[in-house]
Amino acid sequence: MKIDANTFDPRRYFRGANFFQLRRGNHRELAVTNLLAALTGIIAGYAALGFRGMISFFQNLFLLHSVSFAEVSPLDHVRGLWIILFPAVGLTLSYYTCKWFAPEAEGHGVPEVIEAVMAKGGRMKKRVVIVKALASSLTIGSGGSVGQEGPVVQIGSAAGSAFGQLFQVRTKLLKILVGCGATGAIAATFNTPIAGVIFAVELILFEFKFRSFVPLVIASVFATMITRIYLGEHVAFDVPTYSIDNPVELLFYIGLGFGAGAIAVFFIKTLYGIEDTMRAIKTPFFIKSIGAGLIVGLVGYRFPDIFGSGYDAISSALNQGMTLPLLLTLLILKIFMTSFTLAGGGSGGVFAPSLFLGAMFGGVFGEVLKEFFPDFAINSGAYALVGMAAFFAGASRATFTSIVILFEMTSDYSIILPLMLACVVSSETAWLLSRHSIYSLKLARRGLNMITDMGVNVIEKTMVGDIMTEDPLAAKEDISLEAAHERFSKYHHKIFPVINDKGVLLGSFTRHELETAYQKNIKDAATVALSEIVNPVANVAFPKESVQDALNRIQPGRSTRIFVVKPDSKKLIGVVSPSDFVRMMTKAEGSDE
């Protein structure tokens, strides 16, 4: 086959060769999946490096008034009064960048990726890569109190989605590529290849299967390899040697877990509470951005540790370089400054703030223990270290990820026992206090039920809109019995919806009701309105709610058909029948989508 290099279209060539549309379990499909995973990992690795460079660029621009991609420490350059103004500028620019070009790039990133997998078949807009990188760089570079991890996850996932859409891969494979992008982003950012895989399994894909696990591993390896080529092998934090001399000390870590879980829930409620308050204020949003930015700038001028990710402050807490009052002050301030940054239109992640808050709380906990238990060789840095993972476990409910990522970030195996114990206690405490994590609450507000159990039944994970039949057969309210009988008697459906001229669902009638009414009024059927036999609809659902929620509302003895309407207008957009449930379960067993 001769290929003209001037007219060669790889997408059409591969589609024509049936390269991607392959049967499940086919060896070629596995090879293609793994190849795409490797390429996605490479893209995610370079995306992480590029995003890191963009943050440095804006930090140099705002802090040093210079054009450079060299990394700087914000703590060394925040003594001038002018620093108070920069977060306001950054938040305002970030907000309008997202609003004008990609609204889905707002916020902290991970919930948007989860939503893409849950409700959009893995499809993310290509422009999210650029817009998210620019908006988050502006926020963090100007001093916004957020982290770079969430944005990198969204950037990497959007890149994976764009790559999959370029070659028009199947929906299942597209979702896996989104997970590969998230895996590569976490692995490349923290130099944590194992945690990157666990992160995608636990928070993005919610499944632990061979067909997805292998591509995730491949993406993680290639993404980590890219960053190690340029940055070398390093750990995120240098920690002192630590060991448990007295087993009783494990009880202290249980207390640390309880406290971390409770404060994590407080952080979640504060974050969304301030966001709600800001949105309720009746004023142009740019004024809110400026106001929130000035608050962050004023606090940051006095306590510069709250700017950005705060990794310098974390390192100081880990090495017992902070006093108890300072640790407590930074703990309180960071909760509110992160909340104001995001509520003011900033774009950035909550992963790094969670680590920061956990380190500060752990440090406070350890320092207090020193005062009350002087006979124990208390190392407050060790409590700060475990507190980082415990806090994130409570905030995200991703317990396994929290344990693994802290272990890989520090390469300190001696801390593993208290680390595991505190993370589990924190996560359970948070569950008792709030059913939603920092990610699932945002999705719940959009009508999506985020399931965090990987063993969950497929009907709890599937959205109604994913299985419904669109544009269902429906009757207009103003037609006669005769017209309805002529049109609908030839169909074998048991129930039919009734709509008005605008498509709004008004009710329904059964095939039996139509036939009975027609025979009863056969002489006057042309003048009797169909509305005479229309009944209220019992089973109504929205496209973005789970199939499980819709099934729970089916009344005993009523039809199993579910009519799907738009939440705002109640316009009929689809119907779910028993055959749709059968197809859903068949796909869950692994058939092609």
Nearest to 549 by CA among 576, 589, 568, 509: 576
**Residue 241 belongs to a domain:** no
Give helix 149-166 / helix 351-372 axis angle, nearest 10°.
150
Query: 10 Å Cβ neighbour count for 328?
Result: 17
One DSSP character per residue, 470-518 reads ES---EETT-BHHHHHHHHTTS--SEEEEE-TT-BEEEEEEHHHHHHHH
Nearest to 224 by CA among 487, 38, 19: 38
Whether residues 61 and 175 share a domain: the answer is: yes
Q: What is the mean pLDDT of the chain?
A: 81
Query: Each residue of 359-388: pLDDT tens digit?
Result: 999 999 999 998 888 877 788 888 999 999
Whether residues 379 and 492 share a domain: the answer is: no
Query: 10 Å Cβ neighbour count for 577?
Result: 19
Report pTM: 0.76
CA separation for the pair 96, 106 (Å, rounded) = 10
CA separation for the pair 290, 305 (Å, rounded) = 21
- Which is more confidently placed, 9 or 553? 553
Q: How confident is the model at residue 296 (pLDDT cuts 50, 70, 90)?
A: very high
Helix (H) or strand (E) holding 411, with range, is: none
Contacts of residue 557, Cβ cutoff 8 Å, sequence gap at least 6: none
Beta strands per DSSP E along 309-465: none
CA separation for the pair 436, 441 (Å, rounded) = 5
On the CB side of 314, CA atoms within 13 Å amount to 27
pLDDT of residue 424: 95
**Residue 514 belongs to a domain:** yes
**Residue 279 belongs to a domain:** yes
Whether residues 174 and 138 share a domain: the answer is: yes
Q: Which residues pair with 508 in a beta bridge?
A: 497, 535
CA separation for the pair 107, 94 (Å, rounded) = 10
Q: How confident is the model at residue 79 (pLDDT cuts 50, 70, 90)?
A: low
Q: 3-state secondary structure string, 174-200?
A: HHHHHHHHHHHHHHHHHCCHHHHHHHH
Nearest to 43 by CA among 226, 186, 228: 226
CA separation for the pair 151, 140 (Å, rounded) = 11
pLDDT of residue 501: 82
Mean pLDDT of 142-153: 86
Q: How confident is the model at residue 24 (pLDDT cuts 50, 70, 90)?
A: very low
**Residue 48 belongs to a domain:** yes
Query: Each residue of 170-191: pLDDT tens digit?
Result: 788 888 899 999 999 899 888 8
**Residue 344 belongs to a domain:** yes
Which is it for the CA torsion 326, 55, 141, 274, positive or negative?
negative
Query: Each residue of 398-431: pLDDT tens digit?
Result: 899 899 888 887 777 778 889 999 999 999 999 9
End-of-domain residue from the set 401, 418, 444: 444
Q: How confident is the model at residue 583 (pLDDT cuts 50, 70, 90)?
A: low
Whether residues 217 and 111 share a domain: the answer is: yes
Mean pLDDT of 436-442: 88
Is residue 140 over pLDDT 50? yes
pLDDT of residue 582: 63
pLDDT of residue 156: 87
**Residue 243 belongs to a domain:** no
- Which is more confidently placed, 449 or 141? 141
Q: How many domains in the chain?
A: 3
Query: Each residue of 46-65: pLDDT tens digit?
Result: 988 888 888 888 888 777 66
On whether the CB atoms of residues 157 and 181 are closer than 8 A, the answer is: yes
CATH number at residue 189: 1.10.3080.10
Q: How confident is the model at residue 1 (pLDDT cuts 50, 70, 90)?
A: very low
Q: Which long-range contacts (CB under 8 A, 24 or more apart) does 323-326 make?
A: 323/367, 324/363, 324/364, 324/367, 324/368
pLDDT of residue 2: 47
On whether the CB atoms of residues 181 and 152 are closer than 8 A, the answer is: no
Is residue 239 over pLDDT 90? no
- Strands 469-470 and 562-565 come out as unpaired
Query: Each residue of 532-564: pLDDT tens digit?
Result: 777 777 678 888 787 777 777 666 555 667 888
Whether residues 208 and 259 share a domain: the answer is: no
Q: Which residues pair with 571 in a beta bridge?
A: 504
Q: How confident is the model at residue 246 (pLDDT cuts 50, 70, 90)?
A: confident
pLDDT of residue 120: 80
CA separation for the pair 589, 222 (Å, rounded) = 30
Mean pLDDT of 315-324: 90
End-of-domain residue from the set 419, 444, 469: 444
pLDDT of residue 563: 85
Query: 10 Å Cβ neighbour count for 542?
Result: 18
Whether residues 184 and 293 share a domain: the answer is: no
Query: Each residue of 474-515: pLDDT tens digit?
Result: 888 778 877 877 787 777 777 888 888 888 888 887 777 777
CATH number at residue 474: 3.10.580.10
- CA distances in angstroms from 357 to 271, 274, 384, 592, listed in the order given: 13, 18, 9, 44
Q: Which residues pair with 529 in a beta bridge?
A: 480
Task: Name the least confident of 49-53, 117-121, 239-243, 301-305.
Answer: 239-243
Whether residues 422 and 518 share a domain: the answer is: no
pLDDT of residue 575: 85
Phi, psi of 386 (to 5 degrees): -65, -35
Q: Which residues pair with 475 in a beta bridge?
A: 498
Is residue 233 over pLDDT 80? no
- Which is more confidently placed, 280 or 547? 280
Quote the domain boundaries for residue 563. 458-588
Most confident among 79-88, 262-271, 364-373, 516-525 (mean pLDDT): 262-271
CA separation for the pair 33, 174 (Å, rounded) = 10
**What is the Cα 286 distance to its own chain's centre?**
26
Is residue 15 over pLDDT 70? no
Q: How confident is the model at residue 70 (pLDDT cuts 50, 70, 90)?
A: low
**Residue 120 belongs to a domain:** yes
